[in-house]
Amino acid sequence: MHESVLRSEAVELLAVRPGGTYVDATVGMGGHAVSILDAGAGRLIGIDRDASALAMAGDRLSGRPVDLIHADYRELARLLPERDIDGVDGILVDLGVSSLQLDDAQRGFSFKQSGPLDMRMDRSTGEPLMARLATVDERTLADVIFQFGEERHARRVARHIVRARALGPIATTADLAAIVRRAAGGRGWQRLDPATRTFQALRIWLNGELDGLEDFLAGAVGMLRGRGRLAVIAFHSLEDRIVKHTFRRLAADGAATAITRRPVMPSDDEIERNPRARSARLRVIEKAETGA
């Protein structure tokens, strides 16, 4: 079973109100949702782009006061009024990729095992990465790899991908990983697999993970009632930077108050149990009473 990152810390900092209404905007398989309900929430709205994860959450949360919705968390401003909800007491967003996605080779997220080059978080819409890579121009591809992966060999990687696709479709994660390793790999031992940054960049690009994040965070504060709280778990520097700067701006504008002055990070024990938690960063703000 996938272990939810910073589970106890996130729920504690949400300061769950007995009987309150909460949103787990990236419910995944329901780990955080279970803890929010156990802490006393009276109703929980669970949202996820991944229909497979949502089905598992449904089994795990069966019989609990939960509404599960197959949607993108950035649609929250539409989803709540549709359910006659005019405000909630807290919102949690976990921006990470779940173990369900990473560990299933058929989803195409991981360079560690071969599978179809898909990488869509929502397989009911959009095109798989294989199709996107077949048509993107080299310059755009290099910009994507540099911007979203912070890969210093981005131009070389893009050039190798374009050359390889001229010889035939890049159909599997193993195919892509081999191309990237040839382009970005160095000699000797390396802490990160040379494919890591490019795979991250392409996943973010394909799924539009950073699109609208800042607007969502600002809008989410407006959906809180009273001194409700917004908690966000980020996993890489690009999204954490957006969260940090947006929270600072909201605090400066008087719309919210910072609960975490610095990001909360996983304990050594959690990282030992779940190495994927290593890069997680939790930030929490509380809606200001003047903004209620």
CA distances from 161 to 111, 138, 149 (A): 15, 8, 15
CB 172 within 8 A of CB 199: no
For tokens 């909630």, name the residue: 88
Burial of 154 (0-12, 13-18, 19+ CB in 10 A): buried
Does pLDDT of 188 surpass 60? no
**Mean pLDDT across the chain:** 94
Cα gap 242→140, rounded to integer Å: 22
Return phi, psi of residue 205, to 5°.
-65, -50
Least confident of 96-100, 223-227, 278-282: 96-100
SS3 string of 170-194? CCEHHHHHHHHHHHHCCCCCCCCCC
Q: Half-sphere exposure (CA, 13 Å, Cβ side) for 278?
A: 3
85 vs 291: which has the higher pLDDT = 85
Q: Write the CATH number of the domain with boundaries 7-95+210-291.
A: 3.40.50.150
Q: Half-sphere exposure (CA, 13 Å, Cβ side) for 127?
A: 10
For tokens 């949702």, name the residue: 33
Q: List pLDDT tens digits, range 262-291.
A: 999 999 999 999 888 999 999 999 999 864
Mean pLDDT on 35-53: 96
Query: CB under 8 Å to 186, separation ≥6 — which residues?
Result: 194
pTM: 0.93
Mean pLDDT on 103-120: 93
The CATH class given to the 103-207 domain equals: mainly alpha
Cα gap 39→177, rounded to integer Å: 43
Instruction: Give the confidence band of 96 by pLDDT, cuts at 50, 70, 90.
Output: confident
Residue spans of the domains in the chain: they are 7-95+210-291, 103-207
Closest CA relative to residue 93, chosen from 78, 73, 69: 73
Least confident of 12-16, 50-54, 77-81: 50-54
SS3 string of 13-46? HHCCCCCCEEEECCCCCCHHHHHHHHCCCCEEEE
Q: What single letter denotes the amino acid at residue 128? A: P
Query: CB under 8 Å to 103, separation ≥6 — which residues?
Result: 110
Q: In residues, how long is the chain?
A: 292
Q: What share of the chain is helix, strand, coil (3-state, %, to 5)?
A: 50, 15, 35
For tokens 């009024």, name the residue: 81
Cα gap 184→147, rounded to integer Å: 16
CB 88 within 8 A of CB 80: yes
Cα gap 92→34, rounded to integer Å: 13
Instruction: Give the confidence band of 187 by pLDDT, cuts at 50, 70, 90.
Output: low
pLDDT the model gives residue 141: 98
pLDDT the model gives residue 216: 97
